[in-house]
Chains A and B, each alone.
Chain A
């Protein structure tokens, strides 16, 4: 009897190991997809990227297989995967992320049909990236906080220095966020690129900043909840906060504030370059940018043929906006961010 048991045990063991091998095999194999699938890293949040990609599939039959990362993470991956790229397209995200990628040689220049009709600031001269949207910065403040402190929504950069804001502002950390870099260059512009004056302002603002957040939108929820009184954010994030039902005010400084383009780029060595180009063609054209309004994505379209959604136009009415000069920002970004870390973040 004990021999029968042994034999049973042995065959059970054999069956178990066969099962194990059969079960683990699919884990090792990367699933193969039909020819008509393009792979992308999206920097846009999924709730904006997904409807766009579904519309793309509807109109071209090409499926977009994507995963979402913040701009820094997406770029770090693209760089790490340089010798064996996993995706064909980097979708969305401020163009200063793309500018950093150019130095690493991760993009394949490509000029989509819309290239010719775009203003110079919405395209890289060699076609390393092309803009798909524009995104202005705004001041966003909590209504209840304003009321309790008898404040109006801030209408000037200097308003943010007022005592009630002490330890009550949240804004992004320049080490991780394109929002922060755009903010710092905005401050440089309104101070006539006088670095001493601009940094003097930022140092005065420092005691009012409760937290520098990792992501550009990281402070919107605390402001919405009233944990923070206000902050400086991109308009998409601010309007999204409002749409979620939080009572916040959106305002613009009279001195002006910067706006940054969002881009798309083809990855060098992409496995499906032709499909990737089709996605870029579509995303840079009115075909996609005309859909922003339908899905309540509050970006300003980059393509001149797409009308601005009236509600968004209303918010932006009278706002003084200026684009961040790509050449000036590109040449000085690293130095300015390092100075910000040394003098403002860790004095």
Chain B
């Protein structure tokens, strides 16, 4: 909560002019952001605006005034907006049902597990399943419904695939926020005579607003940056900018034009971000207080509504499960669509030829995960709770790599870190850095959203009793934002296992990744190994996420919300 830190109380802190720990941490974060976010982009700009050493904007102007590129720009915005709305709505539906539906444990676990599926596999696997099911000869459209001449390529299918792929982000963002709302507040409203609908509309929904805004922003940005899904599903009638930029670079070898197209995307991404900061920044919510409110059970949904909610969730879950059952099936038949004899050959292939990719991916993910989680809560905490130089700017800068299409981040890293003074290409470090700064922002957003609900007096009490800011952070704030830490860490791990757009430019002869192998297999027509790799990725991520859940349950720091179910444990 940006405005909270400007309140008289926090500004006071008498006799302590500058907290050295805060200053040092901010300094280190600034140095890292400078090196891994600003420097590559500056190098990319330099490459974009020069032609053999002389300054020029001719190439950029030409590409930005092209009417097809302008159409692609509006298409991107439209798609991102619709994905943001649809994904947030579905995410909220799931989060609300899970938090308020009084569901039995096994139902919760089932929902959590299947909701995670789209998050834990490369996006183009959803796209491939879509084509196989809804194409001109799709399982659903042709075999089941007998439709002919169906076109699967275009806005509706791209929107559907992206919404299915990204709504879990909204779910992960909203679930802990809904869980953190003190149900006594809702209970009080109810006992004062408000109807359930009125409680929902005037208490629950406003308290969730920062979370909804965050979810929309994250989905908007994710869609804006996604190139894999439109590449496969958008077809030629609905071009979008990330795909155009990618094609400009890889197809026409026009690095400058591609970079220019991507920078255009930065404008709407930042606009949405600022709008959200301003809008959310004017509301102040305190629901976690030091008073230790007992979580009195509150029947916030009527039985009929509850069943309707459950049915909607079940339907969406079923679609997801169907997609992934298809994937599993493709991994154990000789050739999907041609020869459906059972075989384990594809798994043999990935554990021999593909072993290096599996090992490399796991090593890289193991490093990116804790670093990314820590980065997320540290930065989120600092920008929300502390006053220091260029605080707002830091939050903005930290979001840049998340908002930019991965293709551009990858190319920028490649240009910046290939030559001395900082030579990183060919190492694993460059991939780890890319994951941390590209996907760590999920943790930042989660931290900010959670901190906005924590009463400042908790920390002030600690500081008033003489604890240093480091101690206060560790003893008071950290347990409260632990869910955000694990959300951030989980997303970084998941993305380390599944992302491709940026890192396809950063893999090298020394370090390669499973996702690059999958794309490779798909282009080689080896659907079997691609499916087997995807199944493996899903299995590994589920295992790790379950382990984190178990760990959290064992640790269960005092004050931490029950969040095992969030991670599907």
Binds B, one of A69-77, A276-284, A305-313: A69-77
Interface pair B236/A227, CB less than 8 Å apart:
no
Q: Which residue of A lies closest to B244 (CB)?
A: A175
- Pairwise interchain contact A246-B253, C-beta atoms closer than 8 A: no
Q: Is B512 an interface residue (CB 8 A)?
A: yes
User: Could you say which of A28-36, A193-201, A256-264 contacts chain B?
Assistant: A28-36
- Which of A119-127, A152-160, A208-216, A318-326 lies on the face that meets chain B? A208-216
With A27-B429, A67-B508, A100-B253 in contact, do A46 and B353 touch (Cβ < 8 Å)? yes
Known contacts A217-B525, A244-B525; decide if A225 and B132 are in contact (CB<8 Å). yes
| Residues of the B chain whose Cβ atoms lie less than 8 Å from the Cβ of A67 | 507-509, 512
Contact A80 B132, CB 8 Å, known A175-B252, A244-B335: no
Instruction: Give Cα distance in the complex from A334 to B144, angstroms.
Output: 45
Q: Are B523 and A31 in contact (CB under 8 A)?
A: no
B56 at interface by CB-CB < 8 Å: no
Q: Which of B236, B509, B523 contacts A211 (CB 8 A)?
A: B236
Stretch at the interface among A83-91, A109-117, A130-138, A183-191: A83-91
How far is B428's CA from A81's CA once the two chains are assembled, in angstroms?
17
Tell me, yes or no, whether B505 is within 8 Å of chain A by CB.
Answer: yes
Output the nearest chain B residue to A180 by Cβ-Cβ distance.
Answer: B251
SS class, residues of chain A in contact with chain B: mixed
Residues 392-428 (chain B) with a chain A CB within 8 angstroms = 411, 414-415, 418-420, 423-428
Closest chain B residue to A226 by CB distance? B137
- A211 in contact with B235 (CB, 8 Å): yes
The answer to whether the Cβ of A332 comes within 8 Å of any Cβ in the partner chain is: no
Contacts of B151 in A (CB 8 A): 167, 210
- Check if B201 is an interface residue, CB within 8 A of chain A: no
Residues of A within 8 A of B132 (CB): 225, 227
Pair A45/B253 contact, Cβ less than 8 Å: no
Q: How far is the CA of A77 from the CA of B507 in the complex (A)?
A: 11
In the complex, what residues of A have CB within 8 A of residue B420's CB? 84
Q: Is B163's beta carbon under 8 Å from chain A? A: no
Determine the chain B residues whose CB is within 8 A of the CB of A227 once the complex forms.
131-132, 135-138, 152
Q: Which of A73, A244, A341 meets B250, CB within 8 Å? A: A73
Tell me whether B428 and A79 are in contact (CB under 8 A): no
The docked-state distance in angstroms from the alpha carbon of A214 to that of B249 is 12
CA–CA, A31 to B428, complex, Å? 10
Q: Nearest-CB distance from A72 to chain B (Å)?
A: 3
For A246, list chain B residues within 8 Å (CB): 335, 337-338
Is A150 positioned at the interface, with any CB of B under 8 Å from its CB? no
Asked whether, in the complex, the Cβ of B527 is within 8 Å of the Cβ of A221, the reply is: yes
Given A67-B507, A217-B523: A222 touches B338 (CB 8 Å cut-off): no
- Residues in B neighbouring A27, C-beta threshold 8 A: 363, 367, 427-429, 432
* Contact of A70 with B523 in the complex, beta carbons under 8 Å: yes
A141 at the interface (CB under 8 A from B): no
- With A39-B509, A84-B419, A226-B137 in contact, is A50–B338 under 8 Å at CB? no
Let me know if A86 and B508 touch, CB within 8 A: yes
User: Which B residues from 261 to 294 make CB contacts under 8 A with A?
Assistant: none
Contact B367 A24 (CB under 8 A): yes
**What residues of chain B lie closer than 8 Å to A100, measured between beta carbons?**
253
Contacts of A24 in B (CB 8 A): 367, 429
Q: Is A176 an interface residue (CB 8 A)?
A: yes
Question: In the complex, are the beta carbons of B411 and A80 less than 8 A apart?
Answer: yes
Q: Identify the A interface with B (CB < 8 A).
A: 23-24, 27-31, 39-40, 45-47, 50, 65-68, 70, 72-73, 75-77, 79-81, 83-84, 86-87, 100, 104, 166-168, 173-177, 209-212, 214-215, 217-218, 220-222, 224-228, 237, 240-241, 244-247, 337, 341-342, 345-346
Q: Beyond A66-B509, A212-B236, A247-B338, list 4 extra A-B contacts (CB 8 Å).
A: A76-B249, A80-B414, A87-B509, A245-B338
The 8 A-B pairs with the shortest beta carbon distances in the complex, nearest first, are A72-B250, A176-B251, A175-B251, A227-B135, A245-B338, A226-B137, A225-B337, A27-B428
